[in-house]
Amino acid sequence: MRLKPEEKPRQMRVRFRTIGDMSCTGAVDSPASTLEEIIDEVATSRVTERGSRMDDKRSEAAMEDRKKEGYF
């Protein structure tokens, strides 16, 4: 992805909750490094899994529109 001039890359401890390709998947700020810790995190999270997916945020019906065309 191309960075905007004001966007500065930084090092951060993250993990991925959902994996798409790099242009549509966001990471979550998380220290969870075992399955047990991930389960605890998912149980208490207030955001759903696809909350970090840009492909769904393009419009209200982004997923339905893609599915109608034949998407996954």
| Type of residue at 7 | E
Distance of closest approach, residue 21 Cβ to other proteins, in angstroms: 4
Distance of closest approach, residue 46 Cβ to other proteins, in angstroms: 13
For residue 25, the 8-state DSSP code is B
**Residue (31 or 46) nearer to other proteins, CB:** 31
**Of the candidate residues 44, 46, 59, 68, the single one contacting other proteins (CB under 8 A):** 68
Q: How far apart (Å, rounded) are the C-alpha atoms in residues 25 and 53?
A: 5
Among residues 3, 43, 11, 5, which one has the least CA distance to residue 27?
11
Distance of closest approach, residue 3 Cβ to other proteins, in angstroms: 6
**Taking the mean position of all CA atoms in its chain, how far away is CA 18?**
6
Site string for other proteins, 18-57 (x = CB under 8 A): xxxxxxxxxxxxxxxxxxx-xx--xx----xxx-x-xxxx
